[in-house]
A = this chain, B = another copy of it.
């Protein structure tokens, strides 16, 4: 199909498609003329994935490029699958590994991982991301909120068990990688939105408020 049809089928404007092509988020079509190329179903599919990650998941363009490179690697061994999701952990700009408060928070995360018997890479970016947020909560004097750590950990464990089982049930490595990427980003978006809704509902119930 021509770029105009690709645009119509994917609901993405032609300038945006051209931007994704330049940025390497979309592989080039087969050249059919000096200024023309032919696109296929795989381009429609890839465009949907890129839009979902950027628009719904809020993933930065550079990160999407990195993730797609991993998705396109043909010989990715199964156990490396989750490694793809590592790129998706947002980097904090605040982290100071020499700060004793941050080191204490990171030790707290490591203790949770050990206590649960989780087998997690020592350098997993999510360890630092959790430490960032815990350190920030402590610095703000919101220690009572950290009493919820076991509840958050339980929830994370249950959700992850269900999600990873779904991914593995897919069988084929290519499908599994796509499930990891979309499940990590979009699953997180669903879970976070449901958490906000449940918070509003619990608050209304406990405070006896009426929605207006």
Contact = CB atoms under 8 A, between A and B. Distances in A.
Interface string A114-145: 00111111101011011011101101101011
Given A78-B209, A119-B211, A139 B48 contact: yes
A183 interface: yes
Main secondary structure of the interface of A (DSSP, over half): helix
A157 interface: yes
Interface string A43-66: 001001101100111100000000
Contact of A160 (B109, B113, B184, B199): B199
Interface of A: 11, 45, 48-49, 51-52, 55-58, 78-79, 81-82, 85-86, 89-90, 92-94, 96, 109, 112-113, 116-122, 124, 126-127, 129-130, 132-134, 136-137, 139-140, 142, 144-145, 147-149, 151-170, 178-179, 182-184, 186-212
